[in-house]
Amino acid sequence: MVRRTLQAIPLLILISIILYVILNNAPGGPLAPYLQNPHITPADIERLKHNLGLDQPLPIRYWHWLVTVLHGDFGYSTSNSQPVLEAILERLPATLELMVTSFIFSVVIGLAAGIFSAVRPYSFADYFITTFAFFGQSMPVFWFALMLQLAFAVHGIPLPGGYMIQLPSAGISNGSDTFDLGDRVAHLILPVIVLSLLSLALYSRFMRSSLLEVMKTDYMRTAAAKGLDGRTILFKHGLKNALIPVVTILALSLPGVLGGAIVTETIFAWPGAGRMFYNALQQSDIALMMGYLLILAFLVVFSNLLADVLYAWLDPRVKYD
């Protein structure tokens, strides 16, 4: 783990260099928000360039940025008018709430569907789960989110007796100062379904194929020949080995959920870091985008390290040279 962690340091530095070069060479550059202001003169732009150090060569600017980041200072956001780290930490709890809920939902439902589908292969339930998995993998997130808003927020859910349930279409709460668990859950339903759809479909497919392969092995047939209970064979001998390839997908999907939250949070007006990044992208807030993307890169590297550790836990035979 120490070796892998040390290897991640130059990787993160290389990622930061690529991101810094791309964002600083984007159309408009770091001063794009100021260039759109008709009251700012060319002399003001030149003064801003000097004050912000933008008149220096790009390598020197990157070095200054890297030094300040290593000291915990990610710069100043031009769109939020506050320090970058403060802006991200302010929005992060809402994103984590959405991200963790959707991840748990997709893992529980996806793995359960994959196990059920593998235990009863080529049955009606297996075909139904497989069809749903293909539907989830091919469905565009933004279109599916809009259709859910139309179906469950605009038209509502009809109930017997003429009652109608309409789920909230946007926001994180009804705006009340007091915390209401029921209201928070109601606001979570639609974005969680959208955010977990692709992962749920992916987990069920991988779990099914992996468990089917394990069930054909010799040790599974030997356990059945010894007269062990079917559940014992499945969960004690088969499931742990079947989870080894699934661990990669589970670990690497963590940053993917955070990246997918950009679209989902924007459509559902969820006040999280993903929506903040979308607004920063529209306003060319380079400092804020760099902070968000660097955290996302760290999550990808950390997820790889987590997958390696889980490999060794699930299969003690795994060794890292």
Query: Which one-letter amino acid corresponds to residue 9?
Result: I
DSSP summary character for residue 151: I
CATH number at residue 166: 1.10.3720.10
User: How many domains would you assign to the chain?
Assistant: 2
Residue 259's pLDDT is: 67
Q: Which domain holds residue 176?
A: 86-314
Residue 69: alpha-carbon gap to chain centroid: 23
Burial class (CB in 10 A: 0-12, 13-18, 19+), 194: buried
Residues 144 and 268 in one domain: yes
* Residue 49 located in a structural domain: yes
Residue 54's pLDDT is: 77
Residues 176 and 206 in one domain: yes
* Residue 293 located in a structural domain: yes
Assign 180 to helix, strand or coil.
Answer: coil
Residues 69 and 27 in one domain: yes
Assign 211 to helix, strand or coil.
Answer: helix
Ramachandran sector of residue 121 (left: φ over 0; alpha: ψ -120 to 50; beta: rest): beta
* Residue 79 located in a structural domain: no
Model-level pTM greater than 0.75? yes
Percentages helix, strand, coil for the chain (3-state, rounded to 5) are: 75, 0, 25
The DSSP string of 253-274 is HHHHHHHHHHHHHHHTT--SHH
DSSP summary character for residue 150: I
Residues 206 and 57 in one domain: no
Residue 16's pLDDT is: 93
Residues 53 and 164 in one domain: no
Q: Which residues of the chain have pLDDT under 50?
A: none
For 248-277, the pLDDT digits (tens) are 777 777 776 666 678 888 889 888 888 889
Residues 93 and 169 in one domain: yes
d(CA 213, CA 204): 14
Residue 287's pLDDT is: 87
Instruction: State which of 73, 99, 122 marks the end of a domain.
Output: 73
Residues 148 and 247 in one domain: yes
